[in-house]
């Protein structure tokens, strides 16, 4: 699993601005494939039909390149066109790419019933995530129908630096790996913002050393708070498990309580047979 996650992270880096640099030093790198994947990644939740101009803006690729790539992806079934042929949207066929990975993530099958039980008892949403570039991506999510949804579902992304899920992931890394990721995070945004973000990360890493979990206190989305714990598998791969909700319900005492429950659940998951690929 660890090798697969590292491969996915490298691919994510290439598709988000490093593709040209990789191509210059790697003769095996296929720039056309990189651009096609970059185009697929440009679509966002809530998109209907996205025009060539908007896709060019999101990807930084020339509009003629967008046209050729989109035509190819339509022919292969990964994109669909509107009746007026002025825009594109993802076709459900795209789901076929991720299904084999989700099936192989056996930890989802182990974690799901435990997560649902905790969601039912606490009335909060519970999520399990893995790293994807500078984000965490949800691979499992449970919720209760009687509480407002935070909108994230399987496949949703949250930033590592300013969420409890990302901070718990950092806490679970080996020191060298954490410092490498810090270096990547520090290059995003201004130096002033990074100083504030790093201070918040350090605060939560200290909380992890003391209590075993990390908080997110509205830094990502105002009025939403969360607590997360790392889940370190036997091969060294790190996942993160999160409990989130509205800050009005997730007070300090409640966050501590849910942090303890997440710790117990993570221990239970890891003690189960087959908590890996």
Which domains does the chain show, CATH number per domain? 15-97 (1.10.10.10), 105-271 (3.30.450.40)
Residues of the chain above pLDDT 90, percent: 57
| Residue of higher predicted confidence among 151 and 63 | 63
Q: What average pLDDT score do residues 63-92 get?
A: 90
β-pairing, 79-81 vs 214-217, is unpaired
Q: Using 50, 70 and 90 to split pLDDT, how confident is the model at 154?
A: confident
pLDDT at 51: 93
For the cut 70, the answer to whether the pLDDT of residue 48 exceeds it is yes
Residue 71 to residue 93: CA distance in whole angstroms: 15
Residue 97 to residue 117: CA distance in whole angstroms: 30
For the cut 70, the answer to whether the pLDDT of residue 132 exceeds it is yes
Q: What average pLDDT score do residues 217-240 get?
A: 91
Q: What average pLDDT score do residues 105-111 get?
A: 83
Residue 30 to residue 248: CA distance in whole angstroms: 49
DSSP state of 93: G
For the cut 70, the answer to whether the pLDDT of residue 21 exceeds it is no
| Residue of higher predicted confidence among 30 and 10 | 30
Q: Using 50, 70 and 90 to split pLDDT, how confident is the model at 169?
A: very high
pLDDT at 85: 75
**Structural contact between residues 248 and 148, judged by C-beta atoms closer than 8 angstroms:** no
Task: Report the range out of 60-69, 217-226, 267-276 with the highest average pLDDT.
Answer: 60-69
Mean confidence (pLDDT) of the chain: 85
β-pairing, 214-217 vs 157-159, is unpaired
Residue 205 to residue 209: CA distance in whole angstroms: 6
Buried b (16+ CB within 10 A) or exposed e, 136-173: bbbbbbbbeeeeeebebeeebbbbbbbbbbbbbbbbbb
CA dist list (Å): 142 to 60, 72, 73: 36, 36, 33
Decide: pTM greater than 0.75. no
Question: 86: how many CB neighbours lie within 10 A of its CB?
Answer: 12
Residue 178 to residue 162: CA distance in whole angstroms: 15
Q: What average pLDDT score do residues 116-134 get?
A: 93
Residues of the chain above pLDDT 70, percent: 84
């Amino acid at each position: 699993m660890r090798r697969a996650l590292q491969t996915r992270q490298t691919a994510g880096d290439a598709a988000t601005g490093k593709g040209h640099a990789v191509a210059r030093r790697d003769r095996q790198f296929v720039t056309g494939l990189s651009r096609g994947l970059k185009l697929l990644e440009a679509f966002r939740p809530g998109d209907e039909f996205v025009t060539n101009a908007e896709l060019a803006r999101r990807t930084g690729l020339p509009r003629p390149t967008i046209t050729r790539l989109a035509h190819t992806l339509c022919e292969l079934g990964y994109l669909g066109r509107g009746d007026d042929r002025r825009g594109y949207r993802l076709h459900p066929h795209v789901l076929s790419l991720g299904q084999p990975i989700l099936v192989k993530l056996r930890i989802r099958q182990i974690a799901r019933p435990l997560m649902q039980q905790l969601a039912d008892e606490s009335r909060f949403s519970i999520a399990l995530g893995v790293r994807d570039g500078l984000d965490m991506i949800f691979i499992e999510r449970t919720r209760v129908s009687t509480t407002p949804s935070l909108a994230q579902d399987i496949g949703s992304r949250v930033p590592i630096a300013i969420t409890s899920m990302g901070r718990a992931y950092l806490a679970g890394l080996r020191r060298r790996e954490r410092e490498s990721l810090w270096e990547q995070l520090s290059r995003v945004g201004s130096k002033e913002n990074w100083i504030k973000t790093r201070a918040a990360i350090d605060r939560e890493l200290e909380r992890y050393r003391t209590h075993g979990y990390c908080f997110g206190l509205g830094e990502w989305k105002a009025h939403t708070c969360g607590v997360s714990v790392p889940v370190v598998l036997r091969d060294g791969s790190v996942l993160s498990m999160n409990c989130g909700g509205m800050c009005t319900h997730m007070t300090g005492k409640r966050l501590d309580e849910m942090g303890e429950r997440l710790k117990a659940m993570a221990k239970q998951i890891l003690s189960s047979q087959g908590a890996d690929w």
